[in-house]
Structure 1
């Protein structure tokens, strides 16, 4: 099943995440296409090979609703991206949505995905959005821990059923 989470952005200001020395949060730029695709591919490799390429990421960045400042990355002192998230803003309705969000497999469990999520929510809040949404599949145990740690609450589930034919 899929799990859907919501978090109010209207309650109080979201502080900038505290990071270990040498790490910094910023948004991805056109100069980062290869590095940004690499961190996505690494993060999602646990589920199988990712189909993202520089070309389809470039197309995503060209979408009219794409806001480069909501494409948040966490990088180390050497410039290697460790985690990322893309936030999508529906300014008409005041809602932001995260999709996708990931962390390098060798960097999990250190709060890096939490840092990019909080930074993304902080940026959404600065744009006047009042609610943030995110979803995950029930098998993604790390996400099921991450989202509540960022203040999200589960608001719905979608169950999928399969019937074997023949």
Structure 2
């Protein structure tokens, strides 16, 4: 990922996670945030030059751990393995940068099964589950 890729990367994020507040400006801010590394930010390019899928990995060098956050695919490109390819490339880059383990925290409930299928296809296994609590006022 370079600065020139930001418009199509932000557009792909908005499409994948509609509605999304990600803009070119906010993605430039992500790229300036510590510990962002452009070598761990990957896109799968569509034939028309747009970003079809993406994966950003954050590296914790001290713990030699990588975290996928986020990965996604624009709707017109889903079910082609493109997010998987972007994740594999980003995770390989993280491994070369020193990561020895990787984590991801997808929403894993029955109403949102797609992320779980993606991450299981990459070899991730469930190790913890988060529960959300809500209180009526």
**Fold match by TM threshold 0.5:** yes
User: How much does 1:107 deviate?
Assistant: 1.1
Structure ranking higher in helix proportion: 2
The answer to whether the aligner puts 1:38 opposite 2:11 as a matched pair is: yes
| Counterpart in the other structure of 1:121 | 91
- Which has the higher relative contact order, 1 or 2, with Cα contacts under 8 A spaced 6 or more apart? 1
- Among 60, 67, 71, the alignment partner of 1:90 is 60
CA distance in 2, matches of 1:50, 1:163: 25
| Counterpart in the other structure of 1:99 | 69
Give every structure 1 segment of 4 or more consecutive aligned residues whose post-TM-superposition deviation is greater than 6 Å.
none
- Among 119, 130, 133, the alignment partner of 1:161 is 133
CA distance in 2, matches of 1:80, 1:148: 27
- Among 145, 148, 151, the alignment partner of 2:123 is 151
TM-score (norm 2): 0.93
Q: Mean alpha-carbon deviation: is it higher for 136-145 or for 84-93?
A: 136-145
- Among 24, 30, 37, the alignment partner of 1:67 is 37
- Among 1, 12, 20, the alignment partner of 1:50 is 20
Structure with max Cα Rg: 1
CA RMSD of aligned residues (A): 1.1
User: How much does 1:113 deviate?
Assistant: 1.0
1:51 aligned counterpart, secondary structure:
coil
CA distance in 1, matches of 2:29, 2:98: 27
Where does structure 1 lack aligned partners over 5 or more consecutive residues?
1-27
User: How much does 1:65 deviate?
Assistant: 0.7
Where does structure 2 lack aligned partners over 5 or more consecutive residues?
none
User: How much does 1:108 deviate?
Assistant: 1.1
CA distance in 1, matches of 2:94, 2:60: 10
User: How much does 1:64 deviate?
Assistant: 2.6
TM-score (norm 1): 0.78
